[in-house]
Amino acid sequence: MPPPGAGTHDTQAGPPRPESLTRIMLRPLASSLPLGVFAFGTGSVLLSAQQLHWVPLAQTVPLTLLILVFVVPLELLAGTLAFFARDGGAACALCVLGATWAGTSLVTLLGAPGQRSPALAVFVLVITPLMLVLFVAALPGKPLFGVLLLIGAGRFALTGAYEAGGGPVLGTTAGWFGVFLSAFALYGGFALLLEDTAQRTVLPLGRRGRARTSLQGDLGHQLEQAEREAGVRRQL
């Protein structure tokens, strides 16, 4: 005979909880952040070459085409892959940068070389506060990426003021902002690339919070809030 209580355990326990029946499948992806940062720096130095008159005015169109065919696709690719890697903040910033480079390039191509554009001024001045918002969002976890966005916001503000009719000193200052941004992006992209290759921080990046535990924590840290992330929860 079965022991007393046999056959009643399952009834008392009730149906299994959804958590015990659910499996979340993730596809490992390499970090796209180095690609986006390198592309941002490259586009910035190309624009600085135009603003600081390092190349003849007649070379404006070739420079703009280089931004359109090199920088824009890489920024948008990096942003798209960041969405797949579940980093919504970096993905949003990279896609915004890619679209900004695309819009700026097309307006420049359609205008006369060296001619100022009030429409472009409005566009980049509207992008400036958006960049500041992205900076604030990135600062708690990725300060280096946040500072890069802050420098970019300053550069966009100066460019917008110059395109709106400001003095030549604004264009020159924006160009040197771009040079500094490019150097900073070169360091940041290199540090991120080393980090992704070694799976640990090699050069200082200032990671904090979840950005730090994503590298230094165990698997439990990575999965403790997976059920609340976009793509897993039912609504965005």
Cβ atoms 79, 95 nearer than 8 A: yes
pTM confidence score: 0.80
Separation of alpha carbons 75 and 69, rounded Å: 11
| Higher pLDDT among residues 34 and 228, named by residue | 34
Residue 216 has pLDDT above 70, yes or no: no
Q: Is the pLDDT of residue 175 over 70?
A: yes
Give 173 or 87, the one with higher predicted confidence.
Answer: 173
Architecture of domain 33-228: Alpha Horseshoe (1.25)
- The pLDDT tens digits for 31-83 are 899 999 999 999 999 999 999 999 998 899 999 999 999 999 999 999 999 99
- Structure token pair of residue 206: 């200032």
- Measure Cα distances from 122 to 9, 88, 99, 158, 216 in Å: 70, 27, 15, 12, 43
Instruction: Report the distance separating Cα 165 and Cα 231, nearest Å.
Output: 46
DSSP assignment letter at 57: G
Structure confidence at residue 73 (pLDDT): 97
- Please report which confidence band the pLDDT of residue 183 belongs to, taking 50, 70 and 90 as the band edges: very high
